[in-house]
Amino acid sequence: MTKLRNVALVLFCAIACCSLPAQTPEPSPTPSIVYAVHDLAAIKDYKTNSRIVHEMVDRLVLAATAKSEVARAWASLVSPNDRIGIKISAAGGELFTTHHDVVNAIVDGLVAAGHPRNTIIVWDRSLGGIKDAGYRAGIDGYQLQAIMPHDGYDAKAVLTAPLTGQLIWGYLDYLGDARKMLSDVENTSNVSHFSKILSSDVNKIINVPVMSISETNGIAGCIYNMTIPNIDNWRRFAQGSRFGGDSLAEIYSNPLIAKKVVFNLIDGLIAEYAGGPQSQPNYALHHATLYASRDGVALDTIALKRLEEWRARASLPKIGRLASYIDFASQLGLGNSSLNRIEVRNIGK
């Protein structure tokens, strides 16, 4: 059954007009470590304490890299000539966007490692809610970028999948007024394009999703944050179907993603266990915890486990069935999803 599913889900990624089969590396041979740091004083009434959050981020990167200085820790993840991007989640607006203080702490660490602040790109598909979340273009010093409709996608960075989606405004292949002449079938496509930010503007990525479920994909975690918001014609992979969902693992395996992500940090200062990734304060709690790992699959596994616990307490149904791509990602050798191969280390002060 597994073999049949793997065959059915093969995605062919075409980069620079060449079609290449998705790579299938061997399963991860060693256990993965997820680092967690918790501090109740980090957030109160949805307001963060910037000093404490900064210290939490620093402690995580020091632990994850086994370095004694923050600058050396970040320097071990990126080199001086790297073009660095920080992929945030801005779908949750004012309250549930990746926290400004978390991003500032990461940028400060990268600057300490020798990277000019104004060369660092912080991005998501849309940045409509970031101003209310505390971000200030031109003042923060780093680049805040959204993916421009149509022109923000790379015509040469293509993936195809045996799942069609309807073309709409903003997609690279959308035909505008010409679509009126097409039938419903002709106005669909099995092609998606990666964003130019992902394909060419950055070569090392710090992945910083929020701790939230996704009503269509189980969890809006590390894998989701690097796939769904970074491609056009994405709705076909976010329809709640297992087939579409499992495809996220194949998309993530593309070298444009898998080879560029060097560090994952889940912002769990606020955790949202229903209604996400959009803002749903009725299903949120102050978790006051940040998680980090080199292994995004393991990080998603631990985050989903906690989110399911909160859903159970609220008498909500399990949502993990929509996140089967996490196990599939493990099968592809992208990380560990088995709890017996993941160690969670709590980092004290």
Model pLDDT, residue 52: 98
Q: What is the DSSP secondary structure assignment for residue 267, as one 8-state letter?
A: E
- For CA atoms 63, 65, 66, 67, the dihedral sign is negative
Model pLDDT, residue 129: 79
Model pLDDT, residue 240: 60
Model pLDDT, residue 16: 37
CA dihedral 177, 182, 187, 191 (to 10 degrees): -90
**Residue 236: C-alpha distances to residues 248, 284, 332 (Å):** 11, 27, 21
Count other Cβ atoms within 10 Å, centred on residue 72: 14
Hey, what domains does the chain have and what are their CATH numbers?
Answer: 26-151+195-346 (3.40.50)
Model pLDDT, residue 137: 87
- Which of 57, 96, 37 lies closest to 275, judged by CA? 96
- pTM recorded for the entire structure: 0.88
Give strand pairing partners of 30: none
Model pLDDT, residue 19: 40
Per-position pLDDT tens, the chain of length 349: 443 344 334 443 433 333 434 444 554 468 999 999 999 999 999 999 999 999 999 999 999 999 999 999 999 999 989 999 999 999 888 889 999 999 999 999 999 999 999 999 999 999 987 888 999 988 999 999 999 999 999 999 998 887 777 778 788 887 765 444 444 555 788 889 999 999 999 999 999 999 999 998 999 999 999 999 999 888 888 866 555 668 899 999 999 999 999 999 999 999 999 998 888 899 999 999 999 999 999 999 999 999 999 999 999 999 999 999 999 999 999 999 999 999 999 997 6
Give strand pairing partners of 192: 159
Model pLDDT, residue 209: 98
The pair of three-digit structure tokens given for residue 27, joined into one six-digit string: 């399963």
Q: CA-CA distance, 51 to 306, in Å (whole number)?
A: 26
Contact by Cβ (8 Å): 46, 167: no
